[in-house]
Amino acid sequence: MQERFEIALNTPAGQVTSAVDVPTGYVPVRAIVPLMRRLGEEAQALEVARSLESGKALSCHKGCAACCRMLVPLSVPEVFALRDWVRSRPADQQAHIARRFSESKARLLAQGVWQQLTALCDAPLAAEDEALDGVNRSYYALRLPCPFLEEEICTIYDERPAACRELLVTSPSQHCDDLTENPIDPVSVPIQVSTVLGLVWQELTKDPTRLIPLPLALEWAERHDDQSRRTWKGGELFDHALDKTWRFLSQAFAASDKDLAR
27: exposed, middle or buried (Cβ count in 10 Å: 0-12, 13-18, 19+): middle
Of 39, 28, 22, 20, the residue nearest 192 (C-alpha): 39
Predicted model pTM:
0.92
Helix (H, G, I), strand (E, B) or coil at 114: helix
Is the per-residue pLDDT at 127 higher than 70?
A: no
Is the per-residue pLDDT at 129 higher than 70?
A: no
Q: Are 25 and 15 in contact (CB under 8 A)?
A: no
Helix (H, G, I), strand (E, B) or coil at 67: helix
Residue-averaged pLDDT of the chain: 90
Integer distance in angstroms from the first to the last C-alpha of the chain?
50
Q: Are strands 26-27 and 232-233 parallel, antiparallel or unpaired?
A: antiparallel
Calpha distance 255→250 (Å, rounded)? 9
Is the per-residue pLDDT at 4 higher than 80?
A: yes
Residue ranges per domain, the chain? Answer: 2-261
Is the per-residue pLDDT at 132 higher than 80?
A: no
The mean pLDDT value for 63-91 works out to: 93
Is the per-residue pLDDT at 180 higher than 90?
A: no
Residue 262: per-residue pLDDT: 56
Is the per-residue pLDDT at 105 higher than 60?
A: yes
Residue 216: per-residue pLDDT: 96
Q: Each residue of 42-62: pLDDT tens digit?
A: 999 999 999 999 999 888 887
- Residue of higher predicted confidence among 221 and 1: 221
Calpha distance 179→21 (Å, rounded)? 39
Q: Each residue of 185-236: pLDDT tens digit?
A: 999 999 999 999 999 999 999 987 778 999 999 999 999 999 999 999 999 9
Residue 35: per-residue pLDDT: 92
Residue 258: per-residue pLDDT: 63
User: Distances in Å between the alpha carbon of 62 and those of 153, 155, 188?
Assistant: 7, 12, 20
Give the phi and the psi of residue 164 in degrees, each rounded to 5. -70, -35
